[in-house]
Amino acid sequence: MAALLAHRGPDESGLYRDRHAALVHTRLSIIDLDTGSQPLCNEDRTLWIVFNGEIFNYIELRAELLSRGHSFRTTSDTEVIVHAFEEWEEGCFRRFNGQWALALWDCVRQRLILSRDRVGIQPLFVHEGPNGIIRFASEVKALFADPAVPREIDPRGLDQVLTYWAPVAPLSLFRDIQEFPPASYGVYGKQCGSTRGVYWTPRYPDAAEPSSVTLQDATEGLREKLTRATQMRMLRADVPVGSYLSGGLDSSVVARLGNQVRVDGEFRTFSLRFEDPEFDETPYQRAMAATLDSRHEEMVVSRSDIARVFPDVVWHAEKPLLRTAAAPMFLLSGLVRQSGIKAVLTGEGADEMLAGYDLFREAKIRAFWSRMPESHIRPRLFDRLYPYLARAPQHAKGMAVEFWKQGLSEAGMPGFSHAPRWRTTAMVKRFLAPEVKAVLTSQRVPDVLDSLPGSFMQWDELARAQYLECTTLLSGYLLSSQGDRMLMAHSVEGRFPFLDSDVVDFCDSLPALYKLPGLNEKSILKRVARELVPEPILRRPKQPYRGPDAVSFVVPNIPEYVADAFSETQLKQAGLFDPLAVRRLFDKCVSTLLKDSRLAVLSNVDNMAFVGILSTQLLWEQFVRRPAIEPSATFEFSVMIDRTVSTTA
């Protein structure tokens, strides 16, 4: 298990074992390099911990715990967790400001306690086997190191991927393996049984109550909290912290705030460039880097690069991917690590917290249109989101209008904001094998709309959309498949100021008018950014991060692994997709792209289907078909059993 997680912690490893439990940890050392080794215990060795992530307010918590009589032998945030649990039990998780997946083993009461951070930055998976055996790990591949854990794709998890873009915890892609939900904890023991609890839920204002916070106060409040969040993530590290720089508003603001508090030496920034001009943001990246006077490094990504690393990307993501955008992030984290940097600031979370996505604006237009559905004027607002629609031939424009018009009568219903995305993604399900469709008919797939908070319908329409976006895409896809997994593939930790606990609570408390007045996305962040970023970045239209999709696997040539994945033999062996339907899709995409390799020649659904089927077939090959996963090299770690320490391999 440890060897399979070596990429998450290449610096050192440790093992604790007694008659009832075993904890293993692989460490990426960033705080307290000398004495922060894990597993770590309290003074009388009755409470042990393995922990992945950071508790950024550990210094403040340490001072409070010292005042309550606790003593410390390290300066690590890990030891703070142990004493915090001694002091407040499960209540300690509400006090943590950070990103974590952790396990505590109480030797005396023989209890295992698991917990995960609020928004699900750090991954955690659990398998509850027969006889009360609990297995847990940061990644599924480590669970599969135990041959007792079954290897099988769960059709329900695949169905959720083809709706929400990712399984929604606790469901995972693999049968009998749960993804531990964000903002929750679990207690397992022979005496206490198994219990789960939620220590935090997002709170949005009641739509009927006017806000008492002025726009000016809200702007100053956001600036103050975001500045402190960035400072903590820059300064609370014993290694240099760099910054991603996409050329957009979010990463530019974070990089500026990070640069303002650098302690010694140069500030390091890293950017992705694309050979395809449609995705490239080089001018904005270089303009921002110049204002920071940073040591700026760039990586140019081609279609061939994406195809080359895609199997590795899927191996680390452990989920089907409907886009290739994770591959360039995988390559960028490799550049960061080669440059000697272990941690980077990123701008993820800003769009979810402050309404930056087109989805939020689309939902606002559709809700406005729904109040006068026969209007021909109101749908013209889509021309402001997508200027090319105003120039499109009437037939193409008419098709777009008809697309947005679907479900207009359902305005005010819980899933209204996301219905167009979910409906489009679900079109890929037509490629599923009949046997899989039959299973999905007989076994109900959990629906995120079935477990909404009791106050959900009291929130305004934007808050509802934000909650759904955080529950589905943010945790399950963006922070996983494009975030933590691609960073940790090269042993790099991502740090996310916009997902700081205080920043999240503050953003959630703001009225919709401050986030999305009219169609002006992230309005309040733009006010904060006025003195932080160059005017061209402040005023530029939002450009969603994407990469070339199906074309990457066809032009200039089709890699052997792609041909194998789409072969009738492998499709039948996996049993997940209809071989005949998939072959028609494959032939259509290949013939179309060989004639015209422009990125827009394939439909959105065909692109998603091609990449989604390819990545799912790769997952089946990597995790199900292979009888065992064995580490490719000898792995050394220190063994801590009771009071003895030895070394083994």
Distance CA 622, CA 390 (A): 46
pLDDT digits (tens, 9 = 90+) for 352-409: 999 999 999 999 999 999 999 999 999 999 988 887 666 667 777 788 888 999 999 9
Distances (CA, A) of 236 to 32, 54, 263, 340, 403: 10, 9, 11, 18, 48
**Residue-level pLDDT at 389:** 64
Residues 6+ apart with CB under 8 A from 23: 15, 16, 17, 39, 48, 49, 50, 103, 105
Check: CB of residue 36 under 8 Å from CB of residue 76. Answer: yes
Token pair listed for 397: 């424009």
The chain-wide mean pLDDT, for the chain, equals: 93
**Residue-level pLDDT at 409:** 93
Distance CA 400, CA 396 (A): 6
Check: CB of residue 309 under 8 Å from CB of residue 331. Answer: yes
Distance CA 259, CA 254 (A): 8
Q: What is the 3-state secondary structure (H, E, C) of 87-98?
A: HHHHHHHHHCCE
My answer on whether 310 and 174 are in the same domain is no
- Cβ neighbours around 21 below 10 Å, total: 16
Q: Please report where in the chains the tokens 């912290």 appear, as a residue.
A: 241
- Cα dihedral 76, 79, 80, 81, rounded to 10, equals 120
* Short-list 583, 598, 584, 595, CA closest to 550: 598
**Residue-level pLDDT at 647:** 27
Q: Domain holding 36: CATH number?
A: 3.60.20.10
**Residue-level pLDDT at 611:** 98
Helix (H, G, I), strand (E, B) or coil at 323: coil
pLDDT at 168 over 60: yes
- pLDDT category at 629 given cuts 50, 70, 90 is low
My answer on whether 112 and 163 are in the same domain is yes
**Residue-level pLDDT at 645:** 32
Within a domain: 617: no
Last residue of a domain, one of 493, 517, 539: 539
Check: CB of residue 134 under 8 Å from CB of residue 188. Answer: yes
Within a domain: 614: no
pLDDT digits (tens, 9 = 90+) for 108-140: 999 999 999 999 999 999 999 988 899 999 999
My answer on whether 406 and 498 are in the same domain is no
* φ, ψ at 45 (rounded to 5°): 60, 35
pLDDT at 468 over 60: yes
pLDDT at 634 over 60: no
* Short-list 406, 372, 404, CA closest to 385: 404
Token pair listed for 60: 């403040």
Residues 6+ apart with CB under 8 A from 503: 222, 225, 226, 229, 353, 497
Within a domain: 555: no
| Number of independent structural domains in the chain | 3
Token pair listed for 567: 């072969």
pLDDT at 97 over 60: yes
Domain that holds residue 160: 3-203+641-648
pLDDT digits (tens, 9 = 90+) for 187-235: 999 876 789 999 999 999 999 888 889 999 999 999 999 999 999 999 9
Distance CA 377, CA 252 (A): 36
Within a domain: 106: yes
- pLDDT category at 636 given cuts 50, 70, 90 is low
59: left (phi over 0), alpha (psi -120 to 50) or beta: alpha
Check: CB of residue 203 under 8 Å from CB of residue 509. Answer: yes
| DSSP state string for 450-472 | GG--TTGGGB-HHHHHHHHHIII
* φ, ψ at 540 (rounded to 5°): -70, 145
Task: Output Rg (C-alpha) for the chain, integer angstroms.
Answer: 25
Check: CB of residue 273 under 8 Å from CB of residue 300. Answer: yes
Query: Which amino acid, residue 497?
Result: P
- pLDDT category at 240 given cuts 50, 70, 90 is very high
β-pair partners for 347: none
Within a domain: 125: yes
Counting Cα atoms < 13 Å in the Cβ hemisphere of 290 gives 8
pLDDT at 649 over 80: no
Q: Domain holding 231: CATH number?
A: 3.40.50.620
My answer on whether 261 and 337 are in the same domain is yes
Residues 6+ apart with CB under 8 A from 54: 30, 31, 77, 98, 99, 100, 236, 493, 495
Distance CA 354, CA 339 (A): 32
Within a domain: 249: yes
What pTM was estimated for this model as a whole?
A: 0.94
pLDDT at 642 over 50: no
My answer on whether 244 and 195 are in the same domain is no
My answer on whether 376 and 510 are in the same domain is no
My answer on whether 191 and 245 are in the same domain is no
pLDDT at 643 over 60: no
